[in-house]
Amino acid sequence: MVAFLAALAVAPWLHPLTFGPLPGWQTGMSGNTHSTYVGLPGYRSNTSLESAAWIATHVRYRDTATADPPHKTLAQLPANGVIVWAAIFNPALPGDKPIRLDLSKAKHLRCCEFERVLGGQDVLTGYGPGRAYSVIVRAYYGARPTTALRARAQRALEQLTLPPHR
């Protein structure tokens, strides 16, 4: 029984977070790392793991995959540039709902702490399959997001592969 429960806890981390290829976009990922989200309210875990990935167009990605936000890259983000960044970490946070990878449901916020991004960011949060981990998705825009720019970001987000829970 203990081995079964341990296998369930490890299963999502067998397949790190990734974005599939998309013509005209570059991708990257961190693999599994020690989580930078330790200490968030409601977060308690003995195995603090994180996996992050990104997909970007019209900008060279200059940060580590786990940088949240990716300041060096955002400083170079042109008006036609888009970055979609995602991270998973364990465990799922209390009060989270299932993640919906739909940018029309995202919160649009100003961005960022040290780099002003003209287009701001769209943010989605929730938990992944089987409530095995929490998910954060951020879409950054180099200019005020038009319908066309958001559609490009949504196409990129559709390339995100969330790890299964088993």
Domain boundaries, the chain: 2-161
- State residue 166's pLDDT score: 64
Beta bridge partners of 82: 57, 141
> pTM here?
0.86
- State residue 5's pLDDT score: 38
Contacts of 136 (CB under 8 A, 6+ apart): 68, 86, 87, 88, 123, 124, 125
Which residue positions in the chain have pLDDT lower than 50? 1-8, 43, 45
- State residue 80's pLDDT score: 95
Q: What share of the chain is helix, strand, coil (3-state, %, to 5)?
A: 20, 30, 50
- State residue 118's pLDDT score: 83
Strands (E), 20-66: 26-34, 49-57
